Amino acid sequence: MLEHSLLGETGFEMKLEIEGAQPLADRIRPESLEDFFGQGHIRNRVEAFTQSKRMPSLLLFGPPGCGKSTLAMLLAKLTGKKSLRVSAPEAGLTALRKKLPGYDILILDELHRFSKAQQDFFLPILESGKITLLATTTENPSFSVTRQLLSRLHVLRLRTLNREELTQVAKRGTAELDIELEEESYKLLTAMAGGDARTLLNLIEYTAELPEEKRRVDILRDSLPEKVVRGDRDGDSHYELASALIKSIRGSDPDAALYYLACLLESGEDPRFVTRRLIISASEDIGLGDPQALSQAMACHQAVETVGMPEGFIPMAQTTVYLALAPKSNSTYAAYRSAQKEVRENGPKPVPLHLRNATSSLQREWGYGRGYLYPHNFPKSWADQDYLPNELLGRKFYHPKDQGDESRLVSWLRHFKRNL
């Protein structure tokens, strides 16, 4: 038995029993695991859970519309025990505490919407074994769920539905609504759904309201609502897309870089986040290979601040392509990391006396500044003297690359330092 409630801090309960307002996704929700589409990679584990003497507490993690809640409901149903389903955004802990007695299984949607402190509420309940928790989340549990709670849950990672699986879902939806679509229309709708079965079924419902002659793919494309790409600024996709953008620039692939830039911007990403990533890439990945790259990235940041969106994509696209095409050198980034490692492992060494400023007579007596050679007094402004602490003489942190402008920048120094 499954009871579906929305609970607020006041304890107000509203059962979802309005048949006419029931979305298509709920009307065709699978009644058995055999009717559940997709997620073949976890089928064996799911079947093992259903055959165990006691259903363990689970955390189903995956993108929206991949079947997390449906799978949780099916697992709860197979136990034959009394279940309660609530959504974390509407479920206050005070009301939930009053509601839980009498239930064996709690299906909790969007666990990540509970704060880390609120998640501690479930620890003693799970420890006691009084209730089984079947929770869902769209956010990486490594960051959104406390370690204590995560250690008490088996994690199942669900994947985005592929085109074939979405087509199966779509055809089940059109059969429920008693409409027919041509194959090209199914391809269009599944492409627009972006792997999200719920979005797909919403599009199917929208299509069903159109006159039959407008359901042909050539007309349907212009009749559907404008696609809004889902953004997830705090979740995995946010960082995965940003990482893909930077790695495409680093790999000198302007097409891939532009694609991931479009993914970020079309999902509603803050353009300042993007321009900051471009600035970092200009210095970390291109560096002295093209010193102008950093100026380009800084100018892009200022341009986006000035013109705003949506036109801000223009300077961002220019800069993204420029960075992808620029010669690459991470020599200065690597050099700093090497110096950083030395300081962290062995601590800072004393500055050589000849490099210290003698600001008092006593410091001059101590030898501060004695023997310092002022480079501008020598040909080509270079003096043959040591600058590193004595313990590090001869140590190399910077290793230049023969790439782009860097080879030109270091050529004059190589004239004096043959081993550079």
- Tens digits of residue pLDDT in 36-70: 988 889 988 998 888 888 889 999 998 888 999 99
CATH classification of 2-157 is 3.40.50.300, yes or no?
yes
Contact by Cβ (8 Å): 175, 80: no
| Ranges of each domain in the chain | 2-157, 163-223, 228-350, 354-416
Class of domain 228-350: mainly alpha
Counting residues of the chain whose pLDDT is more than 70, the rounded percentage is 91
Q: Higher model confidence: residue 415 or residue 395?
A: 395
> What's the CA gap between 215 and 102, in Å, rounded?
49
Q: Is the pLDDT of residue 232 over 60?
A: no
pLDDT tens, residue by residue, 131-140: 999 999 988 8
Average pLDDT across the chain, whole number: 85
Name residues whose C-beta falls within 8 Å of residue 88's C-beta, 6 or more positions apart in sequence.
Answer: 108, 109, 110, 111, 112, 113, 114
Query: What pTM value is reported for the model?
Result: 0.59
Q: For the chain, what percent of residues have pLDDT higher than 90?
A: 35
Cα–Cα distance measured from residue 116 to residue 120, given in angstroms and rounded to the nearest whole number: 7
Query: Which tens digit of pLDDT belongs to each residue from 63-79?
Result: 888 999 999 999 999 98
For the domain spanning 354-416, the CATH number is 1.10.3710
* Residues 6+ away with beta carbon under 8 Å from 417: none
pLDDT value, residue 99? 87
How many whole angstroms separate alpha carbon 333 and alpha carbon 285?
8
Residue 227: band (very low, low, confident or very high) from pLDDT cuts 50, 70, 90 = low
Average pLDDT in the 381-395 region?
87
Provide the pLDDT for residue 237. Answer: 63
